[in-house]
Amino acid sequence: MNVNNVSSNNANFLDQINKKQDSVFEQLASGKKVNQASDGAAAQQIIDRLTAESNAYQQSSRNAYDGISLSQVADGALQGINQDAQRIRELTLQSGSGILTDGDRSAIQSEISGLQQNIQDTINNTEFNGQSLFTQGNEFSFQVGSGAGQTASVNTSDLASQLSGLQNIDVTNGDLTSSLESLDSALSFIGAERGELGAQQNAFESIINNLSTTNENVQAAQSRIQDTDYAQAASQQAQNDVLSQSSNAVAVQARQNEQSVLNLLS
């Protein structure tokens, strides 16, 4: 028996076992069975692609939440404008009482003018992230998918021009019919705008739900490829331990045989 060949082969075998054992240790420590491209080039490419997709879905969800936040800010402002407009309508109707004097109507108009100024201040000051929402018509677009063109928008209107009739109401001139028509038109427009914002919020919420479901599926697929199967890794570790012990025993036996041969020759 060629003892040197046995020792050399055994050393090579033990080196291979140690490398496998190091790989298993890394898998158990990191929780990943693919830690670098050498662990599986094709698998690593798939993992990288799935990671990019998952990151895109998570960022898209954050973008959609921004869209919801913007819609809520706009709707809150419109709610305040609606309340002021409703009060103006109430005061306008009050001005139609035949028992009121010109002074009474002037007092009513003073309150109306204050409400009109409040509406104008709301239009001028309603902003989201430093951007005015109602001083002109705007379309705020949000990327809500991993691909180009997957967007959703929030649209706002130029309220100053749309509500000009409301802002021009003056109950001291006695034109009650024209004032009420302007008010009804303004309230109808505000209601339609709030309805559109509500629909946009619902659309964003639906998008977020879809993105969340898709992302869960992508992460599950990534996990199946990347994550360590602890039962399998532990079994492989035990097997490597047995092989390593056997290899060491063979090495010891080979050295003993070698010594016996030398003893006989001497």
Domain assignment present for residue 47? The answer is no
Question: What local confidence, expressed as pLDDT, does residue 265 receive?
Answer: 54
Residue 43 lies in a domain: no
pLDDT of residue 13: 52
CATH, residue 155: 1.20.1330.10
Q: Is 180 in the same domain as 85?
A: yes
Answer whether residue 238 shows pLDDT above 50: no
172 with 65, same domain? Answer: yes
Q: Is the pTM of this model over 0.95?
A: no
Q: Is the pLDDT of residue 258 over 70?
A: no
Mean pLDDT of 70-91: 98
Q: Which range among 20-24, 103-107, 230-234, 245-249 has the greatest average pLDDT?
A: 103-107
Q: Please indicate, yes or no, whether residues 9 and 89 belong to a single structural domain of this protein.
A: no
| Residue 166 domain flag | yes
User: Is position 46 within any domain?
Assistant: no
Same domain? For 79 and 132 the reply is yes
Range of the domain at 15: 3-33+230-265
Residue 219 lies in a domain: no
- Amino acid, res. 25: F
Same domain, 239 and 198: no
Taking only the tens place, the pLDDT of each residue in 182-225 is 999 999 999 999 999 999 999 999 999 999 999 999 988 877 77
Q: Are residues 65 and 192 located together in one domain of the fold?
A: yes
Number of domains within the chain: 2
